[in-house]
Structure 1
Amino acid sequence: MLDDLDRHILEILAGDGRISLKDLAAKVSLSSPSVSERLKRLEERGVIRAFTVEVDPAALGYALQAIVRIRPLPGQLHRVQQLIEEIPEFSECDKVTGDDCFIARLHLRSIDQLDAILDRIIDRAETNTSIVKAQPVKRRLPPL
């Protein structure tokens, strides 16, 4: 279970994962060694999995995003999953219940690229694609 101080630390890190230990300690009114120990415990418990960087795909030339619902044909589930894992433009994929087996996010340089990628799995799965217009809620922490 998280205490209020752990929650505060996580909220600060979610806003700025590159904050220095000294600045983080000052924001939560603890010493740097105390904050370091708390971070270590949060990592050991699996609460913090990684300190990472957020990259804007548009800045790398990926102007389009698509959400693709994927329903493998009978007997093709594992092969379709393998193909999704191998295609680097799939930046996220969830295996889900319901009519579809996978819901994936693609980052694309052009609409033509979408056809080329989907052609690689179309003989093994049915797909339904939506182009992302905007992302009103970015990935965020669940309530702490």
Structure 2
Amino acid sequence: MESLDRIDRDILTLLQGEGRLTGAEVGRRVGLSQPAASARIQRLEKNGVITGYRAEVDAAALGLNIHAIIRLRTTHAQLSRALDLASRIPEVVSTLRVTGEDCLIFDVYCPQAGRLEEVVDALARYGPATTSLVLRAYPPKPLTDATSTTT
């Protein structure tokens, strides 16, 4: 894809914060007509820059009161089995394969401590696991901020 200009980046920032904005509202906020804003959004979607739209859900409202991060150190031989298991555990909502001492990081939401213990024990079959409870999650910054050249 060709490089993104300031208006493309502004559109991405807006949609990452409010994915349900109309083309007209996006256009108004970035100084474009509705057709021009909609065309840019469609181009960003077509080129794979915008990969989807989703709802943000409050885990506590679903009874998932424990948010934890589980880091797993495993062997290359066990990696695919650990990934397969994690994909089948509904409480594991995201998985990262990382460099360093740990191999995998799992983002986990559980209704109670007993279920978290079961998840940790299941994953720990594949190597040492370290669990951290999340005290507070802060809103992510839009990805366009990560490409900024100022620090």
Same fold (TM over 0.5): yes
Q: Pick from 84, 87, 97: which aligns with 2:86?
A: 84
Q: Output one character per residue of 1:79-119: Cα deviation in whole Å (capped at 9) or x when no partner.
A: 01100111110111100111111011100111111111122
Q: Partner letter of residue 87 of structure 1?
A: I
Q: How many residues align?
A: 143
Partner of 2:51 in structure 1?
49
Q: 1-side partners of 2:35 and 2:128: how far apart?
A: 54
Q: 2-side partners of 1:139 and 1:66: how far apart?
A: 17
Q: Pick from 33, 38, 63: which aligns with 2:65?
A: 63
Verify the 8 A CA contact 1:62 1:108 in the aligned structure 2: yes
Q: Partner letter of residue 21 of structure 1?
A: G
Verify the 8 A CA contact 2:17 2:142 in the aligned structure 1: no
Partner of 1:27 in structure 2?
29
Deviation at 1:29, TM superposition (A): 2.2
Partner of 1:138 in structure 2?
139
What's the secondary structure of 2:27's corresponding residue? helix
Deviation at 1:73, TM superposition (A): 4.8
Compute the TM-score of the two structures, normalised by the length of structure 2.
Answer: 0.87
**Deviating more after overlay: 23-32 vs 84-93:** 23-32
What's the secondary structure of 2:141's corresponding residue? coil
What's the secondary structure of 2:48's corresponding residue? coil
Verify the 8 A CA contact 1:73 1:126 in the aligned structure 2: no
Q: 2-side partners of 1:108 and 1:138: how far apart?
A: 20
Compute the TM-score of the two structures, normalised by the length of structure 1.
Answer: 0.91
**Root-mean-square deviation (Å):** 1.5
What's the secondary structure of 2:90's corresponding residue? coil
Q: 2-side partners of 1:9 and 1:74: how far apart?
A: 41
- Listed as ranges, the gaps of 5+ residues in structure 1 are none
Q: Partner letter of residue 104 of structure 2?
A: F
